[in-house]
Structure 1
Amino acid sequence: MRATHLLAFVASLPLVASVAWAAKRPPSPTAWRLVITEADRSRLRNWRDAWVLGLDQARAAGQSAAIADEGALLDPDAGLENPILPDGDYECRTIKIGRKAATGSAFSVYPAATCRVGAGRFIKLDGPQRPSGTLWPFDPTRLIFLGAMALGDEPRALDYGRDHDRDVIGLVERIGPHRWRLVLPQPIWESQTDVIELLPKTNAVTPPGGGG
């Protein structure tokens, strides 16, 4: 009898693993409303205010030309319809706008890294700060991102909702042909808003209608 039970248990392991993976994927387009924390509901409501404050701080610090050079990337109102990110790898460059403290940089541009999109999830693969999490439809021009931040040499981020200081919320927008951004309002550290530019590498396939 014990052997029979053991065989049944072993046979069930692939199914358990597949169910566990499925649990990490969005079960419905509105499921994020059941997952989001109260703190992130506030960040979502105030995303534009944080962005504008960050731009104001950066301009006051003498970065007006640098902001203008980025064009649509740093324009809060540049989002286009059809924000869906094709699965694949992306070159992703992070710009931190504004600052939390009275001193420090109000505009920082970081070297390009690699980000990956697949199965409804987003992950930044390298760099000192690496957000990862789940993407859901939000409105005709944006996806919503709920995730967590891995730092330094940590092998992976915690699951969303486990640690308030690591949780991140974001909005994905398409801002041109084959060009997207992930906007992270009011991150815990340093800036008022982080903007991550996303440019597909050769293995990312643009969906129908995504190139105009």
Structure 2
Amino acid sequence: MRGRIPYISTLALGLALGACQTAPPPQPTPPPPAVADAPPGEVDAAGTWRATATAQDKQRIRNWYSSWEAALADARAKGSGDSIDREGVLLQPMAALPNPHLPPGEYRCRTVKIGTQGASTLAYVAYDWFRCRVSAEQGLMSLTKVNGSQRPVGLIFSDNLKRQVFLGTLVLGDESMPVSYGSDRMRDMAGLVERIGDNRWRLVLPSPAYESLLDVIELVPSS
């Protein structure tokens, strides 16, 4: 992205920018076992997430496991262990199942924020359900959170047998258009799309710019 993708778009992140919300594609090799931060299988084809991501976002993806562990440890140390345990597989780092591809359609989605970047925010916050949309976008899939005060908008790229990679930006408040990917490091987002059950997925966003140490967005079809 950085220069390569105006909106995340030269490649296709010209996204659902008009409607502002959507996501997934398929393929390659399974994620590393319990080895923290092992890099995923390389993808050669043009239009891969590695050819698109900023250096900051490549590091976020590379360090996903250590970010997750740090977030869980912080939240547990501050009294949220029972809340974490109640979420089950949603917050378990190694719970991803094969075939992560997110079908197009309307979804219910909710965000769980884990760990805190400062004393003024809670170490664990679970929000109510909002609306998300997944759509086909020029050979890829786009994922958009349709409502709420913080709305990720981006594309989903193939990575391996258990995960896809999300690259996008954060839309805030009453904004109607996302900023260009790569133009504002505080708005850029990178994460993992994983399947964790029948008709149940999650978008894991390590090291977000604001508030938490890790965000996990649960996605289930609206109907």
Aligned to 2:29: none
Shift of 1:133: 0.6
2:79 equivalent among 62, 65, 68: 62
- Partner residue in 2 for 1:179: 200
| CA distance in 2: counterparts of 1:88 and 1:181, whole angstroms | 15
Alpha-carbon distance in structure 2 between the residues aligned to 1:154 and 1:132: 12
Identify the structure with bigger relative contact order (alpha carbons < 8 Å, sequence gap 6+).
2
Deviation at 1:24, TM superposition (A): 3.5
Give the conservation status (yes or no) of the 8 Å contact 2:111–2:217. yes
Matches of 1:95 and 1:117, distance apart in 2: 20
Paired AA for residue 178 in structure 1: N
Letter matched to residue 168 of structure 2:
G
Instruction: Report the counterpart of residue 130 of structure 1 in structure 2.
Output: 151
Corresponding residue for residue 153 of structure 1: 174
Larger helix proportion of the pair? 1
Contact 2:11/2:47 (<8 A) preserved: no
Q: 1:21 to 1:66 in 2, by over 3 A?
A: same
Q: Pick the aligned partner of 1:78 from 95, 119, 122.
A: 95
Letter in 2 for 1:179: R
The number of residue pairs the alignment matches comes to 183
SS in 1 for 2:169: strand
Pair 1:197-2:215 in alignment: no
Q: Report what 2:66 is aligned to.
A: 49
2:161 pairs with one of 140, 143, 146? 140
Report how far residue 103 of structure 1 moved: 4.3
User: Partner residue of 1:104?
Assistant: 121
Task: Give every structure 1 segment of 4 or more consecutive aligned residues whose post-TM-superposition deviation is greater than 2 Å.
Answer: 19-26, 28-31
2:90 matched to 1:90? no
Name stretches of at least 5 consecutive residues in structure 1 with no aligned partner.
Answer: 1-18, 203-212
CA 1:154/1:68 → structure 2, altered by over 3 Å: closer, same or farther? same
Question: What's the offset of the Cα at 1:83?
Answer: 0.3
SS of the aligned residue for 2:60 comes to helix
Q: Is the 8 A contact 1:29 1:137 kept in 2?
A: no
Larger Rg: 1
Q: Give the conservation status (yes or no) of the 8 Å contact 1:29–1:136.
A: no
Instruction: Give the C-alpha shift of residue 29 in structure 1.
Output: 6.9
Given that residues 82 and 174 in structure 1 are in contact (C-alpha distance below 8 angstroms), is that contact kept between their aligned partners in structure 2?
yes
TM-fit CA distance, 1:195 = 0.1
Summarize deviations over 1:101-134 as a string: whole Å, max 9, x none. Answer: 1442000011110000011100000001000011
**Identity fraction in percent:** 46
